[in-house]
Amino acid sequence: MYKTSLFVLVISSLIVICSCKPKVSGTEAHTARGNELLLANDLEHAKSEYELAIKADSANWKACYDLAGLLELQGDLKKANYYFSRAIEINPKFTLGYFSRANLQDLAGDEKQSDRDIDLALGSGSPFFMIYLNKGKKEADNGNLQQAITNLDSAIRLRQDVYIAYSMRGACEYKLGEIDSAIRDYSTEIALNPGHVMGYLNRGVAYGEKKNFRAAINDMTTIIQNSPAVTQAYLYRGTYYFQAGIKDSACQDFQMAKKLKAPEADQYIKHFCEAAPAPTTTPPPAVAK
C-alpha cells in the first residue's frame, strides 16, 4: 500500500503542471496559487484556491486532481475519490489520476476497485514505473508470481536504479525456484542500496539454498557488522556454520540470538547444539520487504 504524503502530492502536482502548457486565465491562476500554498503547507487556503479554479472552469481536471490529493491528506476520502474520479472523467487518458485513485482505494480497503484502477492506468497509454511496481506487488501478494515478474520486468525497464523492484522480483524468483536469478537480483539490489539489510538476508538465504555456505555466511556477517540487533542474521549464520561443519561458531550465534531475545533461539540451541540434528535442516527463507 502506498500512502499519499504531502511530498508525493506536491511532486504529482508539479508533474501535472509541467506536462501542460501554461494558460493565462482565472482558473489557471487559482490553480497556480493553490500549488504555491500547498508548497507552503497552507492546506486550507490551497483548498479554497482549487475550489475557485473549479468554480471558474468545471473542466479544469488539474485543479480537480490537486484538490483530491489535498482532501486525501486531510482524511476526507469520500470527497477525494469524487474529485479523482472527476479528473479522470474530464481527462480519461490521465494515468496519474487512475494511479492516485487506486492508492486511495487501498486506503479505503477496496482492493478490487484499486486493482481495476491499476489496470486502467496500465491501459491509459502512458503507464509509468510506480504503476508496474504496484501491479507487480499486488500480483505477488496474490501468489501470481510469474505475472508479478512480468510487471516488475516492465518497471525495471523504465527505471533501472530503484532497488526495491529488484528485491521484489528476486523474492518472486526465489519462490519459483529460480535461485540463480534471485541471487542476481538481490546482488543488484545491494549494489543500488548497500545499506538495505533485507538484500543481504535474502541473498544469503538464496546462497544457502545453493549450498554455497561460505557466501551465505558472508552475507549474514555483513548484516551483523552493520546491524548487530538483527536476530535473524545470527540464526541463519549459525545454521550455515553448522552445515559448513563449524559447530562451535554455530552455537555461539544461537546463543547471541538468545541474548538478543530471539524467540526461536532456544529451539535452535536444542536442535543444533544439544541434539544430533540432520545437517540439511535450515530456517524458513526470509521474505523481502
Q: Provide the angle, in degrees to the nearest 10, between the axes of the packed helices 61-73 and 77-90.
A: 160
Q: What is the pLDDT of residue 25?
A: 59
Q: Are residues 170 and 119 both part of a single domain? A: no
Q: Is residue 221 located within the same domain as residue 238?
A: yes
pLDDT attached to residue 123: 87
Residue with cell 496500465: 122
How many structural domains is the chain composed of?
3
**Buried-state track 133-162, b at ≥16 Cβ within 10 A, e below 16:** bbbbbbbbeeeebebbbbbbebbbeeeeeb
pLDDT of res. 127: 84
Q: Report the pLDDT value the prediction gives residue 125, as an integer from 0 to 100.
A: 78
| 26 shares a domain with 98 | yes
Single out the residue in 127, 159, 179 at which a domain terminates: 127
- The confidence score (pLDDT) of residue 126 equals 83
**Cβ 74 vs Cβ 43: under 8 Å:** yes
Q: Which residues neighbour 31 within 8 Å (Cβ) at sequence distance 6 or greater? A: 49, 50, 53, 60, 62, 63, 66
pLDDT in tens, the chain (289 residues): 334 444 444 445 544 444 444 444 588 899 999 999 988 999 999 999 999 999 999 999 999 999 999 999 999 999 999 999 999 999 999 999 999 999 999 888 998 999 999 999 988 878 899 999 999 999 999 999 999 999 999 999 999 999 999 999 999 999 999 999 999 999 999 999 999 999 999 999 999 999 999 999 999 999 999 999 999 999 999 999 999 999 999 999 999 999 999 999 999 999 999 865 554 455 544 444 4
Q: Which of 212, 196, 222 is nearest to 289 (CA)?
A: 196
Closest CA to 275 of 241, 249, 257, 251: 251
- Whether 117 and 7 map to the same domain: the answer is yes
Distances (CA, A) of 164 to 15, 185, 230, 232: 23, 10, 20, 20
Contact assessment for residue 232 and residue 286, using Cβ atoms and an 8 Å cutoff: yes
Give me the domain span that covers residue 285.
195-289
* Model pLDDT, residue 235: 97
Q: Identify the pLDDT of residue 154.
A: 96
Instruction: Work out whether the CA dihedral 160, 164, 170, 176 comes out positive or negative.
Output: negative
Let me know whether 57 and 150 are in one domain.
no
Residue closest to 124 by CA, chosen among 159, 92, 77: 92
Residue 70 belongs to a domain with what CATH number?
1.25.40.10
CA torsion angle for 81, 19, 15, 109 (degrees, to 10)?
20
> Where do the H-state alpha helices sit in 91-142?
95-108, 111-122, 129-141
3-state secondary structure of 32: helix
SS3 content of the chain, % helix, strand, coil (to 5): 75, 0, 25
CA dist., res. 98 & res. 206, Å (int)? 37
110 shares its domain with 144: no
- Residue 214, C-alpha cell as written in the block: 561460505
Distance CA 202, CA 269 (A): 23
Going by C-alpha positions, the residue among 275, 218, 261, 209 that lies closest to residue 241 is 218
Cα-atom radius of gyration of the chain, to the nearest Å?
24
Shared domain for 184 and 212, answered yes or no, is: no
Same domain assignment for residues 147 and 110: no
| pTM, entire model | 0.78
Question: Using an 8 Å Cβ cutoff, are 197 and 230 in contact?
Answer: yes
Rounded CA-CA distance 73/152 in Å is 28
